[in-house]
Amino acid sequence: MIAVAGGKGGSGKTTTTLGLARALSRRGAPVVAADADWDLPNLARLASASDADRDPAADAPTVLDAVRTHRELRPDRRAPTVLSAPDKPGDAEATQAFDALADAVPDDCPTLLDCPAGASPDAAAPLRAADRCLIVTPLRRAALRDAAKTAALARRLDCPPVGGVAVRAESVPAGVSDLLGCPVLGRVPTADPEPLSAAPVRAAYDDLARRIVDEYGTGRWRVA
């Protein structure tokens, strides 16, 4: 389980979660992407808006729906299984829900958690449940500073970064990996208004997926 984490809101975590999940699916992996930002959820909304074949009125199952079945999830290899935040977040304890999700998903299926922003107590829950994290950041000074704080928090919670990804970036200065304390595994270019539909962005996430598989997933995940 990988927590997709970063600094302040708007840093690109949700787009990266979905873009990476779809890239792993294109490699034949059965992927689960779950919204771990229960106060400001938007993963399912983004998935619906960027999927022309999806009924916009169809509701994604929630994280709690998935774990309450008390049986192993069977993610589809053709497209990520997207899980939305609970309708009533106060009805469940987040850390327990993410631990239960880890038990419900087969070990050889990549699971991505779209984390809350920053280093708040809410952000700690998915980091505690995940094995590793991916640090997402734009290349602005304040964003990089906040991303470094999130990376430090993740290490304290025994969820070390597998790497970082620079979003809306044309190049990555050499010092970014030193600041984050991990290799920068990818760079995603700017593309508006629908970045996940842009060929250069898809290619960037395909490359990020390849590097994460090489860095962490080989021998763990079912990928082509």
Q: In the chain, what are the domain boundaries?
A: 2-217
Q: What class, spelled out in words, does domain 2-217 have in CATH?
A: alpha beta
pLDDT in tens, 158-192: 999 999 999 999 999 989 999 999 999 999 999 88
> Counting every residue, how long is the chain?
224
Note the pLDDT tens digit of each residue in 30-76: 999 999 999 999 999 999 987 755 544 357 899 998 888 656 788 98
Judging by beta carbons within 10 Å of its beta carbon (0-12, 13-18, 19+), is residue 167 exposed, middle or buried?
buried
Q: What is the pTM of this model?
A: 0.94
